[in-house]
Structure 1
């Protein structure tokens, strides 16, 4: 298993591209075909995936630091490009969310006037109920978002722990090799000393 910074970077970069492609497909296709709670549920799912993509970029930045300065430039440029792509997707999501809120607002007003109650026919529309519901949904979304962030952080911590364990195993193996090499050199040094002594005896004879 190659745990070099460049190899790990490439792995994170590939994962990021897959998530970004799925996000674009959902925003450009799936979201447009849904309405109501189904659309809201998908938008919340997309928010979670955006957080995951952001976490992956953070990991790419972590792997960038130990790279030699001579090769760091292209990888840094790829991170900047990934951040720009992610910002575009975030903007698209915000635009769709605003559009959904306007649609819900208009739908609530129409429903209120369509109840058949004469007392409501000429009553100016107020969105107090809508605001309360929006705040409740926003609070629920915030809790869900926090849970997703914790899950992502936990997953990344586990991955980092695995990488650290692999590095420790490699270091242990390298230490064993160095100790074996040292012992071999000690034996060789002893043999040289004995051979040197034998040669001296032969010379003096």
Structure 2
């Protein structure tokens, strides 16, 4: 959800940039047919809007940091295009300002009143955009704080998981040692049983031999008595 919200905020900045870009172009185009103080005020208003456009692009660049890599790469290409486009507008403004300084100020008195009205309108537009920008900055700050809080919670959860894994590892090692000890005892018992089996077999063989000898002696005694 954060990624989607970040993308929407980026696009909101982009819409504001497009609007102010249109205004800059209109002022630059209008300055071509203006002279004197009117032209100077128009160019100053365009200059202020270029600064504002720069700030919007900066906010767009900051917003990219909150997006996943896939969306970030796609939007970075658009941001580079906007920066290139704004740089062209800056160059156009510089040329217009240079031309304005070298052009005779023939219509200064006639254009003064309308220029003041245009400047007031530009100031109001700029104030409105600045207020909107402040609201978006506050929203970005809130989202960054939320992201920081989530990061801290994730870190705490990760530490708890690592602690549980460490405890499970110790239990597994203890169980493994117990199994090795039991295996060793089983080997000892197996060797003992095999030794007992060998001794039993030997005792049986000895017993059978003794019985055979006794039977032989008995038969021998009986035979001697019969012969005698």
TM-score by length of 2: 0.49
Aligned length: 129
Q: Distance in 2 between matches of 1:33 and 1:69?
A: 46
Match of 1:87 in 2: 87
Judged with a 3 Å threshold, the aligned counterparts in structure 2 of structure 1 residues 77 and 167 are, in CA distance, closer, same or farther, namely closer
Q: Distance in 1 between matches of 2:144 and 2:72?
A: 21
Q: Tell me the secondary structure at the aligned position of residue 66 of structure 2.
A: coil
Judged with a 3 Å threshold, the aligned counterparts in structure 2 of structure 1 residues 68 and 58 are, in CA distance, closer, same or farther, namely same
Question: Is the CA contact (8 Å cut-off) linking 2:6 and 2:63 kept in structure 1?
Answer: yes
Q: Distance in 1 between matches of 2:83 and 2:19?
A: 15
Q: Distance in 1 between matches of 2:146 and 2:71?
A: 27
Match of 1:161 in 2: 138
1:8-49 deviations in whole A, cap 9, x for unaligned? 000001110111112112212x11221101110111111100
Q: Distance in 2 between matches of 1:155 and 1:86?
A: 21
Q: Distance in 2 between matches of 1:16 and 1:44?
A: 18
Q: Distance in 2 between matches of 1:70 and 1:163?
A: 20
Q: Distance in 2 between matches of 1:155 and 1:75?
A: 22
Unaligned runs of 5+ in 2: 107-125, 154-228
Unaligned runs of 5+ in 1: 109-147, 176-205
Q: Distance in 2 between matches of 1:36 and 1:68?
A: 50
Q: Distance in 2 between matches of 1:159 and 1:71?
A: 20
Q: Distance in 2 between matches of 1:59 and 1:22?
A: 19
Q: Which has the larger radius of gyration?
A: 2
Match of 1:6 in 2: 7
Match of 1:20 in 2: 21
Matches within 5 A, 1:165-184: 165=142
Question: Is the CA contact (8 Å cut-off) linking 2:24 and 2:46 kept in structure 1?
Answer: yes
RMSD of aligned C-alpha atoms?
3.3
Judged with a 3 Å threshold, the aligned counterparts in structure 2 of structure 1 residues 166 and 84 are, in CA distance, closer, same or farther, namely closer
Q: Distance in 2 between matches of 1:158 and 1:69?
A: 26
Q: Distance in 1 between matches of 2:59 and 2:42?
A: 26
Judged with a 3 Å threshold, the aligned counterparts in structure 2 of structure 1 residues 56 and 93 are, in CA distance, closer, same or farther, namely same
1:54 CA drift (Å) = 0.3
Q: Distance in 1 between matches of 2:9 and 2:99?
A: 39
TM-score by length of 1: 0.54
Match of 2:45 in 1: 45
Q: Distance in 1 between matches of 2:26 and 2:43?
A: 13
